[in-house]
A and B are shown apart, each in its own frame.
Chain A
Amino acid sequence: MSLIQVENAVKFFGGLMAVGGVSFDVPEGSIYGLIGPNGAGKTTVFNLITGNYKLDKGKIVFKGVNITGKPTHRIVASGIARTFQNIRLFSNMSVLENALAGCHSRMTSGALGAMLRLPKQRAEERRAIEKAMAELRFIGLDGQAENQAKNLSYGNQRLLEIARALASDPGLIILDEPAGGMNEHETSLLVALIGRIRDRGITVMLIEHDMSLVMRACEHIVVLEHGVKIAEGPPEAIKTDPAVIEAYLGSDDDDL
């Protein structure tokens, strides 16, 4: 049973075709990689799934529900959480408050309940803090809860984005270059973390330039070039696929 199906996704920016009819199915509980050279349309595909961009054609079905054209916050509420390629934390707020942002879609109390500080609102607030702290513990940042997000190291900021995404109890988490700016040691910890996220029953999709991470972490890889899918399969098959090698290294003809 596939968790998310992308069917013939098309996106134009002006006259430029960023994504031209990409389709793939992500089975529940898998770790899926999306790779390709710069400008291949990987982040655009992610932005289409999360509703940051509107599809020009095609559709996206999540858990059997068509989510095409829904606003981003509704897509998050339906169970798709993401991190950003260029880190987007609430930098002047504490680490805990950043994680709490993810809890938002799982909370219900509104302005009136808050202004009167009703018992229900207080209980919910407490549960949210518990949940946020649990996610910080999961990624190993609970000791920094009261620190400001901007004071974290680059690698930890990436982890905090993951914690914020996890706090929304997603069915699918989308990681856009999670290892960007991480050193070798941090990257291997990240591979382990991705495995632990999947062990919680959360499906993982990731874009990554670090091929060693992609090959180690992913069970299935989709390769894009110029907005089109050129290959798909398990890591071993992708490594030897001639189309993929050509896309990354260029064929001999390119020298002309």
Chain B
Amino acid sequence: MSFNGNKIRIGIYMAIAVCWLTAPFFLNNYQTDVLNNIAIYAMLGLSLNIILGYGGMFHMGHAAFFAIGAYTTAIINTTYGIPVLWLLPLSGLAAGLFAMVIARPIIHLRGDYLLIVTIGMVEIVRIALVNNVFGITGGANGIFGISSPQVFGYPINGIVNPGHYFYLLTAFLAFTITVFYFLEHSRFGRALKYLCSDSVAAEGSGIDTSGYKLWAFVIGAFWAGMVGTLYAGKITFISPESFSFWESVVMFMIVILGGAGSIPGVLLGAFLIIGLPELFQELQQYRLLIFGIALVAMMIFRPQGILAPQPHTYPIDKIDEKSDDREVAR
């Protein structure tokens, strides 16, 4: 990657960021709410990207983790009145723990087998919610009256004032992008890419492949759980139908269509899959048809996604040779 290419890329990202940040000033409440949905799905996509993109595990039940986060927030907030944003880590933990228990026995399954088991998982979670397990999920009606988040005592209402919620979500999205970018270019992120590329060679290079697969699930679930909190705080009412199998498919499509293992790809995927249908409202009835055609075409012509991952440049020119010789002689 040439220096100039990098500069152009950063310039494009900056321009998009400026457009994104100023967008609510030019849009009405409904349109801003669409952006909020894009932001939520972008974060969900990024969290799924850890599992599906870097780790290459076909996980089509991500909505289960999203649901557990949202329900944890809804139940605790409506019962004990604990502010929504304080429940972010707790919701993440609940989803992460659930993932740890669920993923351990299925982690060694390959490709399509894992896919089927995760579809089963998300359906079981949804059915459990509908049937009001432990009498705390509110059954098919869901849970009403979740309070809006407050930042420094200033309430942010996602329904009345989507513009305010937009900036809360954007802040969290920026945090997500930063943290996941760091994670991608680290020992952890590389380990996932190695085991995705060749798990025998990865294990033979000293990587605990099943351990890393499990942690990929836990981290992905933790994040989806936190996004669940933000979602519950936004619409203040949740029900099982918000976490159907279809939601899992949408997240899966965002990652695969945008570019598995690529943060810009997933962001673009979220925009295309959540945002575009709103732009073409009159084509609403053809939406699934267009989705289907787009997916088939992508799998044939560009299986790596629209924005495939870029090779990472390491600072090798900054390393002086003297220290290397010492390393080898050791």
Q: Which residues does A use to contact B, with CB under 8 Å? A: 50, 52, 71-73, 76-77, 81-82, 84, 88-94, 96-97, 100-102, 104-105, 107, 109-111, 113-117, 121, 124-126, 128-131, 133-135, 137-138, 145-146, 148, 164-165, 168, 200
**In the bound complex, how far is the Cα of B102 from the Cα of A245, in angstroms?**
57
Task: Judge whether B190 and A97 touch: CB under 8 Å.
Answer: yes
Task: Judge whether B328 and A200 touch: CB under 8 Å.
Answer: yes
Within 8 A of A (CB), among B142-186: 179-180, 182-183, 186
Knowing A125-B186, A129-B315, A129-B316, the reply to whether A101 touches B207 (Cβ < 8 A) is: yes
Of the candidates B179, B193, B204, B215, which one forms a contact with A93 in the assembled complex, judged by CB atoms under 8 Å apart? B193
Task: Judge whether B205 and A121 touch: CB under 8 Å.
Answer: no
In the complex, the 6 A-B pairs of residues with the closest C-beta atoms, listed nearest first: A105-B206, A114-B186, A76-B206, A134-B324, A88-B201, A90-B197
Task: Judge whether A102 and B328 touch: CB under 8 Å.
Answer: no
Question: Please, which residues of chain A bring their CB within 8 A of the CB of B187?
Answer: 104, 107, 109-110, 114, 121, 124-125, 128
Task: Judge whether A104 and B205 touch: CB under 8 Å.
Answer: yes
Knowing A104-B191, A114-B186, the reply to whether A129 touches B201 (Cβ < 8 A) is: no
Q: How far is the CB of A3 from chain B (nearest CB, A)?
A: 18
How large, as a class, is the contact surface on chain B? Answer: 35 or more
Judged by a CB distance under 8 angstroms, whether B311 is at the interface is: yes
Judged by a CB distance under 8 angstroms, whether B198 is at the interface is: yes
**In the bound complex, how far is the Cα of B211 from the Cα of A110, in angstroms?**
12
**In the bound complex, how far is the Cα of B187 from the Cα of A102, in angstroms?**
11
What 0/1 readout, one digit per residue, does chain B (75-88) give for beta carbons within 8 Å of chain A?
Answer: 00000000000000
**In the bound complex, how far is the Cα of B54 from the Cα of A96, in angstroms?**
18
Task: Judge whether A101 and B328 touch: CB under 8 Å.
Answer: no
**What is the total of A-B residue contacts with beta carbons within 8 Å?**
137
Quick one: which of B186, B219, B315 has the most chain A CB within 10 A?
B186
Task: Judge whether B205 and A130 touch: CB under 8 Å.
Answer: no
Q: How far is the CB of A88 from chain B (nearest CB, A)?
A: 4
Task: Judge whether A101 and B194 touch: CB under 8 Å.
Answer: yes
Q: Can you list 5 A-B pairs with a CB-CB distance of less than 8 A? A: A90-B202, A93-B193, A96-B314, A104-B191, A200-B329
A93-B194, A133-B319, A138-B328 are known contacts; what are 17 more A-B pairs with Cβ within 8 Å?
A72-B204, A73-B209, A76-B205, A84-B201, A90-B193, A90-B198, A92-B197, A101-B201, A101-B206, A104-B191, A104-B207, A114-B187, A125-B186, A126-B315, A130-B327, A148-B311, A168-B205
**In the bound complex, how far is the Cα of B207 from the Cα of A102, in angstroms?**
9
**In the bound complex, how far is the Cα of B190 from the Cα of A84, in angstroms?**
20
**In the bound complex, how far is the Cα of B206 from the Cα of A105, in angstroms?**
5
Judged by a CB distance under 8 angstroms, whether B208 is at the interface is: yes
Q: Which residues does B use to contact A, with CB under 8 Å? A: 179-180, 182-183, 186-191, 193-194, 197-198, 200-209, 215, 219, 311-316, 319, 321, 323-325, 327-329
Task: Judge whether A109 and B314 touch: CB under 8 Å.
Answer: no
**In the bound complex, how far is the Cα of B312 from the Cα of A128, in angstroms?**
15
**In the bound complex, how far is the Cα of B200 from the Cα of A52, in angstroms?**
8
**In the bound complex, how far is the Cα of B190 from the Cα of A108, in angstroms?**
14
Task: Judge whether A111 and B183 touch: CB under 8 Å.
Answer: yes
Knowing A73-B203, A115-B183, the reply to whether A134 touches B194 (Cβ < 8 A) is: no
Task: Judge whether B324 and A137 touch: CB under 8 Å.
Answer: yes
The residue of chain A having its C-beta at the shortest distance from the C-beta of B222 within the complex is: A111
Task: Judge whether A114 and B197 touch: CB under 8 Å.
Answer: no
Of the candidates B182, B191, B327, which one forms a contact with A115 in the assembled complex, judged by CB atoms under 8 Å apart? B182
**In the bound complex, how far is the Cα of B190 from the Cα of A131, in angstroms?**
16
**In the bound complex, how far is the Cα of B182 from the Cα of A71, in angstroms?**
29
The residue of chain A having its C-beta at the shortest distance from the C-beta of B210 within the complex is: A71
**In the bound complex, how far is the Cα of B319 from the Cα of A117, in angstroms?**
20
**In the bound complex, how far is the Cα of B179 from the Cα of A113, in angstroms?**
10
Q: How far is the CB of B209 from chain A (nearest CB, A)?
A: 7
Of the candidates B180, B190, B313, which one forms a contact with A101 in the assembled complex, judged by CB atoms under 8 Å apart? B190
The residue of chain B having its C-beta at the shortest distance from the C-beta of A90 within the complex is: B197
Question: Please, which residues of chain A bring their CB within 8 A of the CB of B312?
Answer: 94, 97
Question: Please, which residues of chain A bring their CB within 8 A of the CB of B204?
Answer: 50, 52, 72, 76, 82, 84, 88
Question: Please, which residues of chain B bring their CB within 8 A of the CB of A110?
Answer: 187-188
**In the bound complex, how far is the Cα of B271 from the Cα of A226, in angstroms?**
61
**In the bound complex, how far is the Cα of B200 from the Cα of A88, in angstroms?**
8
